[in-house]
Chains A and B, each alone.
Chain A
Amino acid sequence: MSLLYTDEQKALIALVKEMAENEIKPHVQELDEKGECPKDLFKWAFDMGLHMLEIPEEYGGTGLSYETTAMIFEELAKVDAGYAITLVTTFVALRNVILSGTPEQGKYFADIIGKGNFAAFALTEPNAGSDPAALRGTAVKDGDDYILNAAKTFITNGEIAALFVGFFKTDPAAGHKGISAFIVDADAAGITIGKHENKMGLRLSNTTDVTFENVRVPASSMVGPEGSGFKLALNALNLSRAFVATMAVGIMQRALDESVKYAKERKQFGQPIIKFQMVQQMLADMAIKTEASRVLVNNTMRMMDNGSLVRKEGSITKTFVSDCAQEVTSNAVQIFGGYGYSKEYPVEKLMRDCKIFQIFEGANQIQRLTIANELEREYK
């Protein structure tokens, strides 16, 4: 491991590792097979406070830095990234309500999540993925209320969330400046949860369609000023991008751990395959990419702790790390050979789990656009 950890960080990582290995890991293979979100298994995370790590203490959180929180989530992702992302999505939603909403909204949201509940972002629509300005969902003012209508898709935590942060057009003609964000209780009349997505990876994470049909919410549930939804979504994505990168590092580290262990045990031509240079090269490259990724994530986290928006840095980190993760997990399968392709062994799942990291929180192509745009601006 390439980072300098404080004694406190070491103790927290060890604690989470112990819990995840004992309580979560034994169930992962079966849950992955079924594609099921293990609601009951989150008792452990809630009891420990893993859903509120970086939330300020005045909102009932632990008030940890992003840096330390990321270290904890890397550890959790080693056991299962789908389990980890369920919590990340929850605290990113809460964090953004605290950042952009009123103190009352922050407190309302924090109280519900603090009791051991999940939250979800309802942003993506079938025709608005990388291009949020194309959102069709609407929020129409009606007296002191708004009436929400939208068909949202690929909503992480859709079925298990107690609260949504939903994005709707208050001004359909205004492009991304017409988007506003609302806090919506999941039990509000008019919300229908669609089918659970049968995904390639991250199968412990719940992903559903969510339909809002004439959902009535008080005007006071709007987060930030009217038309500020796009900005809120970008802020949320900056944060979640950094955290998905830390989870990809966890997946890579797991791939490396499993590969080295296997390469030392597996014998061919009379010796462990770790003695063969071609295997050595693969392992060394995996270690190089994992370590470099971890340092990059750590730097991004520390910049965020210092109040930086990490628009470019976050994009660089997420893109680099998620691209590395493809190679690292693919080579883990390669080192395991035929066994690696079998579901009996842990590495094929890592390869399936990590593909989405090049896609979600802004596809890597979009990240490269962002990076290039920032470069153009910097070199003016």
Chain B
Amino acid sequence: MNIVVCVKQVPDTTEIRIDPVKNTLIRQGVPSIMNPFDKNALEEALQLKEQYGGAVTVISMGPEQAKATLREALSMGADKAYLVTDRSFGGSDTYATSYILAKVIEKLGPFDVILGGKQAIDGDTGQTAPSIAEHLGIARLTHVLSIKIEGNKCIVEREIEEGVEIVEAKLPILCTATKETNKPRYATIKGKIDSLKAEIENITLADLPDIDVTKIGLKGSPTRVKSTFTPKRQSCCEMLEIINPRETARMLFGKLADAKIL
């Protein structure tokens, strides 16, 4: 069983403050962590490995400092880690990033299971992992709770709004993990020490000869961020006069429907 996990280094949002004037995140001095949902994805990969054997590879796209996150993944028990990094990758949006990662996965593969977090806590788009499956032309199942492998197919429990959905799919499969998927393990002391000494290979543009360079980096990214802002919290109260209960209920229903709550 070959498993690859896509992880992202993100600012620890529990430590983030908002610049009151510019309304942007103050990233200076904020520690970087592994995206928490990616940690769940990694834990799922490690459990699959423990159950079915095989190896867990971890990839991350980002600057050199993202190696700290890859080291953390190694300390938890991943077998191999690669940093996907190149000047030409800079400025990639979710489309370009997922395209580059798909190319990397093709190069390192074949893999039976590809895992990622349901979204990153910095951008919160939730698009990158599912898009990788699109680029690779394979099935994807998001918000998984558990994965069982049977031959060349998998039985996956998914968290959906109404409850739990059980889906069968052919391998290879891409799955995204959430907080409910599992409780990530801590690194062992030995794992931590070894991870600090581990060599982490870089994968650059030169390692991906068949990549379409018009689809990567800032130029290959169709998304343009117009602005980011902190939504203002607003609350107001409107009192409904009680004429008779039925009439008031009807009025309340109408108000809620207008506000698109119902």
Residue numbers of A with Cβ under 8 A of B are 7-8, 11-12, 15-16, 18-19, 44, 47-50, 53, 62, 64, 72
Contact with A along B198-227 (1 / 0, CB 8 A): 000000000000000000000000000000
From known contacts A7-B196, A8-B196, infer whether A49 and B189 are also in contact, taking CB-CB under 8 Å: yes
Chain A residues closer than 8 Å to B75, beta-carbon distance: 15
Which of B188, B192, B196 has the largest number of chain A CB atoms within 10 A?
B192
B246 at the interface (CB under 8 A from A): no
The answer to whether A15 and B192 have CB atoms under 8 Å apart is yes
Which of A7, A15, A50 has the largest number of chain B CB atoms within 10 A?
A15
Chain A residues closer than 8 Å to B185, beta-carbon distance: 47
| CB of A291, distance to nearest CB on chain B (Å) | 25
| CB of A45, distance to nearest CB on chain B (Å) | 10
The answer to whether B193 and A48 have CB atoms under 8 Å apart is no
- In the complex, A15→B194 CA distance in Å? 14
| CB of B115, distance to nearest CB on chain A (Å) | 22
B10 at the interface (CB under 8 A from A): no
The answer to whether B193 and A12 have CB atoms under 8 Å apart is yes
- In the complex, A47→B196 CA distance in Å? 19
Query: Which of A7, A18, A62 is close to B189, meaning CB atoms less than 8 Å apart?
Result: A62
The answer to whether A49 and B188 have CB atoms under 8 Å apart is yes
- In the complex, A49→B196 CA distance in Å? 17
The answer to whether B188 and A53 have CB atoms under 8 Å apart is no
Chain B residues closer than 8 Å to A15, beta-carbon distance: 75, 186-187, 189, 192
- In the complex, A18→B196 CA distance in Å? 18
The answer to whether B186 and A62 have CB atoms under 8 Å apart is no
Q: Which 9 pairs of residues, A with B, have the shortest CB-CB distance?
A: A49-B189, A19-B186, A62-B190, A49-B188, A62-B189, A48-B188, A15-B192, A8-B196, A48-B189
Chain A residues closer than 8 Å to B193, beta-carbon distance: 8, 12, 62
The answer to whether A12 and B186 have CB atoms under 8 Å apart is no
From known contacts A7-B196, A11-B196, infer whether A53 and B189 are also in contact, taking CB-CB under 8 Å: yes
A69 nearest CB neighbor, chain B only? B189
| CB of B75, distance to nearest CB on chain A (Å) | 8
- In the complex, A72→B192 CA distance in Å? 13
Chain A residues closer than 8 Å to B190, beta-carbon distance: 49, 62
The answer to whether B188 and A12 have CB atoms under 8 Å apart is no
B71 nearest CB neighbor, chain A only? A11
Chain B residues closer than 8 Å to A53, beta-carbon distance: 189
